[in-house]
Amino acid sequence: MENKEFFAALTELVREKGISEEAFIETLQNALASAYKKQFDGGAEVSVALDAENGTIEFSATRYVVEEVTDKDKEISLEDAQELNPDYKVGDTIVKNFIPKDFGRIAAQTAKQVILQKLHEAERDSTFSAFSDKEGELMEGVIRKIDERNVYVELGDKKIEGVMPPQDRAPNERYAVGDRLKVFVKRVRNSGRNSQIVVSRTAQGLVKKLFEEQVPEIAQGIVEIKEIAREAGHRTKMAIFSNDARVDAVGACVGNRGARVNAVVEELGGEKIDIILWSEDPLAFIYKALSPATVLSVTAKGERSAMAIVPDDKLSLAIGRDGQNARLAARLTGWKIDVKSASSPEAAEVLAEIERAEMETEEYESEEVTEE
């Protein structure tokens, strides 16, 4: 049956939604066949072919030639088949085109519902495909819904929904519908009805991307973020390195009067941020990583294990509340760090050895000067 107006509307819809015409026609064919079967409550194998070029819709039914019919919707006896064509034999298939009668309002409504569902899925897949390159990026969104488990954030111009599960919510933050916030796109998973965009406010990547926004030297690759260790809502340690000797990496990240780092801290709800110069010397790196505590010495104890000695009055600062400072320093450097006060027996012995070594060096240098 011809329906030029229908196909003109279909072409307009495909163009408007920006989806594949071939995919949409295939979906529509399946939807019409499904609607027909539901309308007539039969088990016949019905298929629909749409020809957009000629503007036609063809229905066809397939029946199998058998000796004895057990399903009249799908089968035809050999005797009846040979009345149609003497060449038919058992096992052949007969395909007959037909125009459905009384394919009325219920079937049309069913087809419409299926089409809308498939169209929604096609749009969703198209949108998710457009978001596939957003994984690992920073995006701004608006909170549209909060339930007992998740926070739902509307993202980008296409207003696609991102999900922020409990483990990706910062403990120092409170969320409300209508709030605008920046989120890190943690994962984009496109798997049909289970497609999902997971966003985060706790990921280390959030800190990195916020600094890239605030610090042009990072965005340009002059200053490099080497490592980040974070306990969201409390404290972050970030190790940086300048690829240009003329550029002060710490100064670039801090900004004039702390403007750049303060902008990041404000976005993170007051989370403390320690900016540390990275060093390829692991002991020197550990020395800096325990900031803001003063460190007297760092000594290797074994494979990726070190002892850091701090003044007695700086021990609590070096360890941090509930061990947080030392724990983050260990994550940042990848080394196990044993923090000791200067008065502890083990530390005192190490400090004494260092002092003896320094004295021997001074005596050696003094002897060289005397000989000259």
153 and 101 share a domain? Answer: no
Phi, psi of 174 (to 5 degrees): -120, 135
Q: What is the pLDDT of residue 38?
A: 74
364 and 327 share a domain? Answer: yes
24 and 85 share a domain? Answer: yes
More confident residue, 3 or 23: 23
8 and 125 share a domain? Answer: yes
25 and 77 share a domain? Answer: yes
74 and 166 share a domain? Answer: no
Hey, what are 215's tokens? 């610090």
pLDDT beyond 70 at 364: no
Quickly state the pLDDT bin for 163 (edges 50, 70, 90): very high
Question: What is the full DSSP assignment across 306-340?
Answer: EEEEE-GGGHHHHH-GGGHHHHHHHHHHTSEEEEE
8-state DSSP, 296: S
In the structure, how many helices (H) and strands (E) does the chain have?
12, 15
The listed range with the strongest mean pLDDT (65-69, 161-165, 331-335) is 331-335
Q: Domain boundary at 171, 200, 229, which?
A: 200
Q: Domain boundary at 246, 278, 310, which?
A: 278
What does the alpha-carbon distance between residue 180 and residue 238 come to, in Å, rounded to a whole number? 26
Q: What is the pLDDT of residue 11?
A: 76
99 and 195 share a domain? Answer: no
Domain that holds residue 321: 280-372
175 and 261 share a domain? Answer: no
pLDDT beyond 60 at 122: yes
Tell the residue number behind the tokens 């999900």, with chain if given. Answer: 163
Query: Average pLDDT, stretch 57-63?
Result: 86
Residues 217-235 have pLDDT tens digits of 999 999 999 999 999 999 9
Q: Domain boundary at 238, 254, 278, which?
A: 278
What does the alpha-carbon distance between residue 369 and residue 303 come to, in Å, rounded to a whole number? 39
75 and 100 share a domain? Answer: yes
Q: What is the pLDDT of residue 260?
A: 97
Any idea of the CA torsion for 258, 260, 265, 266, to the nearest 10 degrees?
A: 100
- Inter-helix orientation angle 105-131/21-40, to 10°: 150
17 and 121 share a domain? Answer: yes
Quickly state the pLDDT bin for 41 (edges 50, 70, 90): low
CA distances (Å), 322 to each of 158, 234, 325, 327, 328, in order? 44, 12, 8, 9, 11
Pick from 60-69, 122-131, 140-149, 236-245: least confident: 122-131
Q: What is the pLDDT of residue 369?
A: 46
Q: Which of 258, 336, 352, 247 is nearest to 296 (CA)?
A: 352
More confident residue, 189 or 70: 70
Strands (E), the chain: 45-51, 56-66, 75-77, 93-98, 138-146, 151-155, 160-164, 180-189, 196-200, 223-231, 235-242, 272-277, 297-302, 305-310, 336-341
The CATH number covering residue 156 comes to 2.40.50.140
Q: What is the pLDDT of residue 263?
A: 97
Quickly state the pLDDT bin for 198 (edges 50, 70, 90): very high
Quickly state the pLDDT bin for 278 (edges 50, 70, 90): very high
pLDDT beyond 70 at 360: no
Q: Is the pTM of this model over 0.85?
A: no
Radius of gyration (Cα) for the chain, nearest Å? 35
Query: Average pLDDT, stretch 362-367?
Result: 52
Sheet holding 336-341, edge to edge: 297-302, 305-310, 336-341
Query: Average pLDDT, stretch 116-137?
Result: 76
Q: What is the pLDDT of residue 372?
A: 53
16 and 126 share a domain? Answer: yes
Query: Average pLDDT, stretch 283-302?
Result: 94
173 and 78 share a domain? Answer: no
Handedness of CA 353, 358, 362, 364 (dihedral sign): positive
The CATH number covering residue 367 comes to 3.30.300.20
pLDDT beyond 60 at 92: yes
Q: How many domains does the chain have?
A: 4
pLDDT beyond 60 at 366: no
271: left (phi over 0), alpha (psi -120 to 50) or beta: beta
Q: What is the pLDDT of residue 357?
A: 65
Q: Do the Cβ atoms of 46 and 36 come closer than 8 Å?
A: yes
